[in-house]
């Protein structure tokens, strides 16, 4: 098997931001992403749990692509997080079918 190295971003944001995040990811060169609902966790302000009552919740956006795309996304996200809450993690990953990323 032949693996290729790519960059993975994991972006945790409020649900209202997902469309804007997805649009930015396409603009900087990512081919796709997956979005997962966050229902509970803990952070610098303590534990939180989504109760489902008039909440839109948090989302985890995961994408894999070229390092250059990730670096461009990080610049955009740094500006975005100056005004809105969120967390981003970046890591190097090995993938099969590299042409998909």
Note the pTM of the prediction, 2 decimals. Answer: 0.84
**Domain tally for the chain?**
1
Closest CA to 22 of 90, 95, 66, 76: 76
If you search the block for the tokens 């890591």, which residue do you land on? 91
pLDDT in tens, 35-85: 998 766 666 666 655 665 555 678 999 999 999 999 999 999 999 999 988
Radius of gyration of the chain (CA): 15
Other beta carbons within 10 angstroms of residue 20's beta carbon come to 13
**Quick one: pLDDT at residue 67?**
96
Q: What is the pLDDT of residue 34?
A: 96
Token digits of residue 70: 């990730």
Which range marks the domain in which residue 50 is found? Answer: 4-100
Size of the chain in residues: 101
Question: Which domain CATH number covers 40?
Answer: 3.30.70.120
Residue 99, pLDDT score: 86
Distance CA(41)–CA(54), nearest Å, equals: 18
Q: pLDDT band at residue 24, thresholds of 50, 70 and 90?
A: very high
């Amino acid at each position: 098997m032949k693996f290729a190295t790519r960059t993975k971003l994991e972006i945790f944001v409020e649900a209202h931001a997902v469309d804007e995040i997805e649009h930015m990811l396409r603009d900087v060169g990512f081919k796709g992403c997956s979005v997962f609902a966050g229902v509970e966790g803990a952070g610098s302000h303590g534990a939180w749990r989504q109760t489902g009552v008039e909440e839109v919740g948090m989302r985890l956006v995961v994408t894999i692509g070229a390092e250059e795309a990730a670096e461009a996304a990080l610049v955009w996200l740094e500006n975005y997080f100056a005004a809105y809450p969120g967390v981003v993690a970046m890591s190097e990953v090995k993938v099969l079918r590299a042409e998909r990323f």
